[in-house]
Amino acid sequence: SGKKGDVLTVEFTVMGIPCLGLNGGPEVKHNWAFSFQVATADQAETDRYWNAIVGNGGEENVCGWCQDKWGLSWQITPIALTEAITDPDTAAAKRAFDAMMEMKKIDIAAIEAARRGYSTRCV
């Protein structure tokens, strides 16, 4: 139903991953059902990706999620977070998960403190 010359598909690469975009027309909107997940090695890398997306017209959301200026969703997920919330010590994993639920951009030091049983909140 597009007009002649409209692009129907576009191939692109995100962080080495080949992707295909389909032009579904103006009635098809981006939503949270699709997101890019970026596993980061440390806080500096987490901050770099987060700040690049949010600082360039994007929006913060919760638990390491943000949206870029085009409305695409991104999960900026430190490897330390994944390790913490899958800790075999279920109490430690729950503390880390609960700490994550209070965050927008993930703070690795706060996740690790929660995992160890320490709060980083000011009372």
pLDDT 10s digits, 76-102: 999 999 999 999 999 999 999 999 999
Q: Over the stretch 8-36, which tens digit does the pLDDT of each residue have?
A: 888 989 888 888 888 877 788 877 778 89
Q: Which domains does the chain have, with CATH numbers?
A: 27-116 (3.10.180.10)
CA distances (Å), origin 78, targets 3, 14, 32, 41? 43, 18, 19, 6
User: Which tokens hold the place of 118?
Assistant: 């320490």
Interior CA angle at 88 toward 32 and 33, to 5°? 10
**Residue 120, pLDDT above cutoff 70:** no
Query: Alpha helix (H) ranges present in 1-123?
Result: 43-54, 79-85, 90-100, 108-116
AA letter at 15: M
Across residues 47-70, what is the average pLDDT? 96
**Residue 121, pLDDT above cutoff 60:** no
